[in-house]
């Protein structure tokens, strides 16, 4: 095994379960998880919280020049999904026809492959969203 990235990702609740944080002091949700509330600072009481798995497209763009390792996926869409609790999540849109991808469209989290290390290497999975 070249590195232990997949082992780390498996232990990352925000990667697989859309886990975030909730500050009980100011009643604000955050994603990804935070240790300190940006509003309350040290006075805030932070707890882990499962984020909603559905939301709406707040903004999006179509990627034609992908970063190294993702060239084979172009063109693809990335979007900011606004969840019902006000949290915004940056994600890739998958399994969605072009004509349905628009601001305000409803989207739902799904579990997909993020990348793989060579033809016989490690495959990393995580969340993406699709238009419903």
69-103 confidence digits (pLDDT tens):
778 889 999 999 999 999 999 999 999 999 999 99
Q: Which pLDDT value is given to residue 71?
A: 82
> What are the φ and ψ backbone dihedral angles of 109, each rounded to 5 degrees?
-70, 145
Which percentage of the chain shows pLDDT scores above 90? 61
| pLDDT tops 50 at residue 1 | no
Secondary structure of residue 85 in the 3-state scheme:
coil
DSSP state of 52: P
* Cis ω for the linkage preceding 132 (within 30 of 0): no
Q: Would you place residue 10 in the very low, low, confident or very high pLDDT band (cuts 50, 70, 90)?
A: low
**Do residues 129 and 81 make contact, with C-beta atoms less than 8 angstroms apart?**
yes
Lowest-pLDDT choice from 7-11, 42-46, 58-62, 94-98? 7-11
Distance between CA atoms of residues 52 and 70, nearest Å: 27
Q: Which pLDDT value is given to residue 85?
A: 96
| pLDDT tops 80 at residue 15 | no
Q: Cβ of 18: how many Cβ atoms within 10 Å?
A: 21
Token pair recorded at residue 54? 């559905």
């Amino acid at each position: 095994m070249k590195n232990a990235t997949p082992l780390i990702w498996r232990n990352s609740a925000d990667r697989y379960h859309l886990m975030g944080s909730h500050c009980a002091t100011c009643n604000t949700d955050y994603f990804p998880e935070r240790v300190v509330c940006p509003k309350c600072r040290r006075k805030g009481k932070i707890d882990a919280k499962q984020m909603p798995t559905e939301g709406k497209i707040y903004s999006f763009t179509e990627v034609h020049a992908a970063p190294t390792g993702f060239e084979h996926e172009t063109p693809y869409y990335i979007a900011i999904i606004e969840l019902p609790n006000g949290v915004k999540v940056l994600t890739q849109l998958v399994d969605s026809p072009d004509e349905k991808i628009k601001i305000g469209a409803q989207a739902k989290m799904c579990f997909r492959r993020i990348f793989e290390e060579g033809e016989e290497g490690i495959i990393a999975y995580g969340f993406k969203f699709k238009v419903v």
